[in-house]
């Protein structure tokens, strides 16, 4: 985390471990609105106009956007899935700050004013008479109170809404080839960042669905298309650091992905084709995050 801070109205603000140090001005509210609308189109092909308005309103509260990619492996792996293959993933996420815990800086005290009152000129009145003009000045007198001491952020809690995709898994039977990916949309995450250490941990869930799932029997060339859907659950731990106008982060996670039933389109399946998919496993991810506030 870059050791920089900015003072605003007597409050010392230290950026979040998952929030960029300076605004990334290339992204605007309309662009984020379009991104959210794109998410909605993937979920539901024909959304109503009221849904677009809700998404635009949601986009106004976005604080950051992040992009990530990573590698992983299946653990544990079923006997029908190849355990030696490395999976790959990528995703995009919009972040919203929902809470924070702040504390005064060590040794900081309220800033005492130099004067007990503050006098501000308000208006002027001019009264004219035969003897000349009489000018009267009016002032507002306010009691000056001590300013609160500078503070720093200890914890930041954020919520993320995004999209993710996993690919690279295969079957253990070498006479069969498994193609396809798993898409998660939407994926909802909650992060708690401990700012002094620039670290965070979080949990994630979301609706996942197979895309282009297909088994090819290499000896005969026969293909079997399938589809399935389920929900995932994940726990993660990460670290972030500042690079110029944006933040980079790395995180490790364990994700439970289990499809209890796969609907295959053809009749008799080869023995090595599973009727369920167990794609749970670990992952290591790198990403970048831009602040838009």
CB neighbours (10 Å) of residue 103? 12
CB neighbours (10 Å) of residue 194? 15
Q: What pTM value is reported for the model?
A: 0.71
R_g of the chain computed on alpha carbons: 28
Please report, in tens digits, the pLDDT of each residue of the chain (293 residues total).
Answer: 333 333 333 333 334 445 433 333 334 444 555 555 455 444 444 444 555 565 566 667 889 999 999 999 998 878 899 877 899 999 999 999 999 998 877 766 666 666 677 778 888 888 888 877 888 888 888 877 777 777 888 999 999 999 999 999 999 999 999 999 999 989 999 999 999 999 999 999 999 999 999 999 998 888 999 999 999 999 999 999 999 889 999 999 999 999 999 999 877 888 899 999 999 999 999 999 999 87
Domain boundaries, the chain: 6-105+150-291
The pLDDT value given to residue 96: 92
Please name the residue that has the structure tokens 């909650």.
190
Class of domain 6-105+150-291: mainly beta
Please name the residue that has the structure tokens 């599973």.
274
Phi/psi at 103 (5° precision)? -135, 150
């Amino acid at each position: 985390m870059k050791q920089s801070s900015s003072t605003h109205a007597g409050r010392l603000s230290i950026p979040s471990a998952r929030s960029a140090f300076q605004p990334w001005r290339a992204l605007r509210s309309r662009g984020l609105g379009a991104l959210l609308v794109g998410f909605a189109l993937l979920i539901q092909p024909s959304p109503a106009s009221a849904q677009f308005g809700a998404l635009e309103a949601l986009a106004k509260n976005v604080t950051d956007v992040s992009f990530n990619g990573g590698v992983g492996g299946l653990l544990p792996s079923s006997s029908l899935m190849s355990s030696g293959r490395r999976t790959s993933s990528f995703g995009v996420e919009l972040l919203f700050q929902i809470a924070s815990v702040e504390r005064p800086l060590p040794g900081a005290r309220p800033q005492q004013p130099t004067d007990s009152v503050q006098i501000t000129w308000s208006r002027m009145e001019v009264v004219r008479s035969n003897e000349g003009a009489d000018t009267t000045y009016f002032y507002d007198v306010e009691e000056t109170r001590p300013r609160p001491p500078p503070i720093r952020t200890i914890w930041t809690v954020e919520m993320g809404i995004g999209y993710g995709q996993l690919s690279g898994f295969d079957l253990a039977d070498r006479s069969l080839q498994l193609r396809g990916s798993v898409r998660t949309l939407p994926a909802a995450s909650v992060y708690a960042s401990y700012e002094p250490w620039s670290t965070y941990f979080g949990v994630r869930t979301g609706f996942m669905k197979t895309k282009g799932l297909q088994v090819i029997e290499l000896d005969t060339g026969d293909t079997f298309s399938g589809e399935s859907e389920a929900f995932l659950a994940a726990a993660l731990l990460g670290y972030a650091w500042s690079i110029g106008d944006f933040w980079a982060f790395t995180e490790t996670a364990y994700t439970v992905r289990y499809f209890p039933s796969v609907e295959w389109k053809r009749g008799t399946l080869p023995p090595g084709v599973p009727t369920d998919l167990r794609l749970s496993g670990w992952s290591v991810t790198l990403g970048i995050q831009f602040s838009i506030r």
